[in-house]
Amino acid sequence: MRSRSKKWLTLTGAAIFAFTALGCKKKSDGAEAAVPQSQAAQASGKQPFPDDAPITDPGTPPPAAGNPLRGAKLFVDPESLAMLQANKIRRTDPAKAAILDRIAQQPQALWMGEWNSNIFRAVEHFVARAKADGAVPVMIAYNIPHRDCGQYSQGGMSSKEAYQRWIRNIAAGIGSDAAVVVLEPDALGHFQECLSEEQKAERMFLLNDAVRVLRQNPATAVYIDAGHARWVPVEEMAERLKAAGVEHAHGFALNTSNYVSTEENTEYGHKLSEAVGGARFVIDTSRNGAGPYEEAKTEEEKWCNPPGRKIGKPPTTETGDPLIDGYLWLKRPGESDGECNGGPKAGVFWLEMALSQAQ
């Protein structure tokens, strides 16, 4: 049974809240054109990857062992769209604000893509804020060439070299600090759907390269997105993960932006882990509290703003399962999947849906 995972950009900051409130602007209008450097970032000594620097092989990182998330405090972003919306209505409608707090006060991932005008600065700023809070940031790299087969979340970098430089700037922005990076939702799920043989080879090269670049920092935990339990059969996804370099990552991620239950993904994840030599995994529980929309009559209805969905298990690194490193909120609840089922543009905070999901 095929079911796609859908998501879009997650932007931060008061300026971005104003951007989404306008409703009709394109993502390229936006977003982090003037991300300030915090004092912590200014003192970090981090430097972006030079535009004219040669792209070299990063080498093989040391083996990933154990749960890198154990005991970590995950970063709660005070500039998330949910938090900004809750604060906006806190005086006029405290009851709704309290419901939104069920989303806003949880740690959630930052999505990184071509909407970041300066990816080095955006990552440096986000990591610095997390570090100042004594927390670990979770980020999602979503910018691989030919992203989403040209559909709702189409985009990505224009070339192999551009993507390699982009990933190296993410690594430079993290520096030696702690971070979690989930690599390229949909990249392996869509692998057989729209890519030429040359593009398939390029994608696997880039995923391998990204894993090894990011893992040069021992404090960066890296998970390759592997779809969800209802998308690609275990045997096929295992081969894709191996080709993508999962042996050098900390493991794989499941259910990014989707609604499949934690239980179903756990069963799938255990089988997939066994098929790739025991790799660990994380599960996105942000919107799977009610499971998938079984009444859907079309594929789109299953993933694009399906009604009646609920937030799932709160983010935690204490899962009780020796193979699951964390239940994470990778998709930020309340942000639209796209213009379907009455929703606004993808990534725009949709108050009515957020309230429904959190109640």
Q: What is the pLDDT of residue 7?
A: 43
Region 85-109 average pLDDT: 98
- The overall average pLDDT reported for the chain is 89
**Set 77, 148, 284, 325: catalytic member:** 148
Pair 23, 344: CB distance under 8 Å: yes
**Set 225, 284, 325, 337: catalytic member:** 337
Q: What is the largest CA-CA distance in the chain?
A: 57
337 is catalytic: yes
Region 315-332 average pLDDT: 98
The model's pTM is 0.89
321 is catalytic: no
The answer on pLDDT for 6 being more than 80 is no
Instruction: Kindly list the distances between the CA atom of residue 153 and the CA atoms of 12, 115, 142, 266, 276, in Å, as whole numbers in the listed order.
Output: 19, 12, 10, 26, 29
- Amino acid identity, position 329: W
Tens digit of each residue's pLDDT (9 = 90 or more) over 263-319: 999 999 999 999 999 999 999 999 999 999 999 999 889 999 999 999 999 999 999
Region 334-346 average pLDDT: 91
101 is catalytic: no
**Set 77, 177, 186, 325: catalytic member:** 186
Region 84-109 average pLDDT: 98
In the chain, the domains with their CATH numbers are 14-18+108-332 (3.20.20.40)
